[in-house]
Amino acid sequence: DTGVSQDPRHKITKRGQNVTFRCDPISEHNRLYWYRQTLGQGPEFLTYFQNEAQLEKSRLLSDRFSAERPKGSFSTLEIQRTEQGDSAMYLCASSLGAGGAFFGPGTRLTVL
């Protein structure tokens, strides 16, 4: 399967714990995005990478969130000191050029 993959698919954690998610984009795609989606809403932009450079970060992203894309391949999204409001589906997408983005299956985070 050459699509976008994400790991883990589900994560349950206790409030205050740190979590890290991984995204492997489609191999030739240089653009990578992280989005967050809650029930009944469309995906909300979190951050964008072009190759290894993080070029844009949403104001929604507090200091507890950090993302990396070393070597312009896979990406990680870390949430420190999780809060119940962080519970959501975290979606990664990749694209090439001006076309649409292709999403991975998402990581569903539940913070207890």
Partner 1 sequence: RKEVEQDPGPFNVPEGATVAFNCTYSNSASQSFFWYRQDCRKEPKLLMSVYSSGNEDGRFTAQLNRASQYISLLIRDSKLSDSATYLCVVKPGNFNKFYFGSGTKLNVKP
Reference 76, options 112, 58, 55, 49; nearest CA is 49
Decide if residue 96 touches partner 1 (CB under 8 A).
Answer: no
Q: Work out how close the CB of 108 gets to partner 1 at its nearest, in angstroms, rounded to a whole number.
A: 8
- Tell me the two tokens of residue 59: 């104001």
Candidates 11, 21, 36, 43; binder of partner 1 (CB under 8 A) is 43
Decide if residue 101 touches partner 1 (CB under 8 A).
Answer: yes
Residue 19 parent element (H or E): strand 19-24
- The smaller minimum CB distance to partner 1, of residues 80 and 105, is found at 105
User: Dihedral of CA 9/19/48/45: which sign?
Assistant: positive
- Tell me the two tokens of residue 37: 């989606």
- 38: helix, strand or coil: coil
Q: Phi and psi of 58, rounded to 5°?
A: -70, 150
Among 15-23, 36-44, 62-70, 75-83, the segment contacting partner 1 (CB under 8 A): 36-44
Count of residues binding partner 1 (CB under 8 A)? 24
Q: Work out how close the CB of 43 gets to partner 1 at its nearest, in angstroms, rounded to a whole number.
A: 5
- The smaller minimum CB distance to partner 1, of residues 21 and 33, is found at 33
